[in-house]
């Protein structure tokens, strides 16, 4: 099962259907034994989930100084990206430890999504 990072985890479909309060955050987007895919918390994944799908995780919290550094690099880029955009995610969680790549990207005028093929997680 692959893993993907999401800034906000959606609510569990089954918790919502059972009208649970509070609705648990989904940890999986996977095919169910009932057929269709659904967002599921751990409990409901164990009950209805199959290994066909994606594990959902929130990004690890970055230090404020790292985010400030990345935001200053983003300003150099010139592209005004939304806070939850792919570009901001790439910059905040994949590029900060790669200053040569960042400097090259900025000097070439290449955007983050264009660099994603060259940057490993």
- pLDDT digit string, tens, across residues 35-44: 899 999 999 9
Cα angle 42-4-24, degrees, rounded to a multiple of 5: 30
Domain ranges in the chain?
2-57, 64-115
Cβ contacts of 34 within 8 Å, gap of 6 or more: 48
DSSP letters, 32-55, are ETTSSEEEE-HHHHHHHEEEEEEE
60-99: per-residue pLDDT in tens? Answer: 665 566 667 667 766 766 667 776 666 666 666 555 556 6
Cβ contacts of 55 within 8 Å, gap of 6 or more: 1, 2, 3, 4, 27, 28
Q: What is the pTM of this model?
A: 0.51
* Residue 102: how many other CB atoms lie within 10 Å: 21
7-33: per-residue pLDDT in tens? Answer: 788 999 999 999 999 999 999 999 999
């Amino acid at each position: 099962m692959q893993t993907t990072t999401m800034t906000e985890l959606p609510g569990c479909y089954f918790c919502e259907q059972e009208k649970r309060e509070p609705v648990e955050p989904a940890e999986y987007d996977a095919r169910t034994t009932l057929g269709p895919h659904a967002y599921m918390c751990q409990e409901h994944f164990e009950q209805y989930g199959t290994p066909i799908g994606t594990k959902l995780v929130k990004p690890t919290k970055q230090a404020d100084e790292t985010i400030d550094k990345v935001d200053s690099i983003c300003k150099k880029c010139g592209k005004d990206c939304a806070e939850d955009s792919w570009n901001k995610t790439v910059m905040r969680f994949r590029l900060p430890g790669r200053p040569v790549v960042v400097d090259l990207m900025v000097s070439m005028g290449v955007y983050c999504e264009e660099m994603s093929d060259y940057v490993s997680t």
